[in-house]
Amino acid sequence: MLWLLRRWRYLLLLVAADKLMAVGAALEMPGKKPEEAVAVVQNALRRIHTTCIEQEITLGAHWRCKTPFFSVVGLDISVTALPEKSIIRADSRNRQGFAFIDLVAQETGQGPFAQRYGEKSFIVGTLATAISPALGYWYVNSNSMIRNKSLFWPMLGLIFGDLFLFWMSSKIYFTNSFDPFGAGFTSMVISMAAFRTIMLVPISWQVLAHNRFAGLQISYRF
């Protein structure tokens, strides 16, 4: 059983790698002083009902802030001052940084852009994940301004994760042979239910973040 838990841990780390990778977007603001750019950022944060905690200034940035770890919207924002312009950069989970930069752009009169999105159903996302984490991942990342860049490989990893747990839990815990409808059934249900529960957390978080941006009723580039 310890061997199975170790393999499961490695699988989850691989699946989560796509979500943990920082994605950044930047916007130049010609003629804006750093203080003016910071004010625009703070107003955009208020529009998505998100708090931002000021951080230590590094790498030449004039101002930097970061949302709390458990915030629905996850952003690391910096404002850098250059001659005759300021640059706003937003690093994020998924493509939230791109969505936030598009919000900032429209705050300064740019746009509208090409893409508009409606809100997603939390219930549908939960049911899709309960059926298959791969299906839940597809639901939350399709037709979304904060979708992950890749759909195929994470979905493939989730599908193989399901198959792995289906086979190993019914084989290892109680028997020496594949037995999904006999003694191994209970362990299979527990393992696969735990997998869905774990994946429901990031998927639900992404549904909430998508709806936060969709509720602004603005347009996006992606």
- Chain segment 97-112, per-residue pLDDT in tens: 999 999 999 999 998 9
Q: Read off the pLDDT of residues 28-44 as tens digits, 9 standing for 90 and up.
A: 999 999 999 999 999 99
Backbone angles phi and psi of 86, in degrees to 5: -120, 150
Cβ proximity of 137 and 154 under 8 Å: yes
Q: What is the pLDDT of residue 8?
A: 45
The 8 Å CB, 24+ separation contacts for 47-53 are: 47/103, 47/107, 47/216, 48/73, 48/100, 48/103, 48/212, 48/213, 48/216, 49/212, 50/75, 50/212, 52/77
pLDDT-based confidence at 210, cuts 50/70/90?
Answer: very high
* Six-digit token string for 81: 């001052």
pTM of the predicted protein model:
0.85
Q: Read off the pLDDT of residues 7-29 as tens digits, 9 standing for 90 and up.
A: 444 344 334 433 443 568 999 99
Is pLDDT of 212 > 80? yes
Q: Read off the pLDDT of residues 63-85 as tens digits, 9 standing for 90 and up.
A: 999 999 899 999 999 999 998 99
* Six-digit token string for 163: 């198959």
Report the sign of the C-alpha dihedral through residues 141, 144, 145, 151, in that order. positive
Residue 88 β-bridge partners: 27, 79
Q: Please, what are the domains in the chain?
A: 2-19+117-214 (no CATH), 21-107 (3.30.160.110)
Q: What is the pLDDT of residue 21?
A: 39
Cβ proximity of 174 and 197 under 8 Å: no
* Strand intervals (E) in the chain: 23-30, 53-54, 61-66, 75-82, 85-92
Q: What is the pLDDT of residue 23?
A: 66
Report the sign of the C-alpha dihedral through residues 28, 32, 35, 40, in that order. negative
Separation of alpha carbons 126 and 133, rounded Å: 9
CA 76 to chain centre: 14
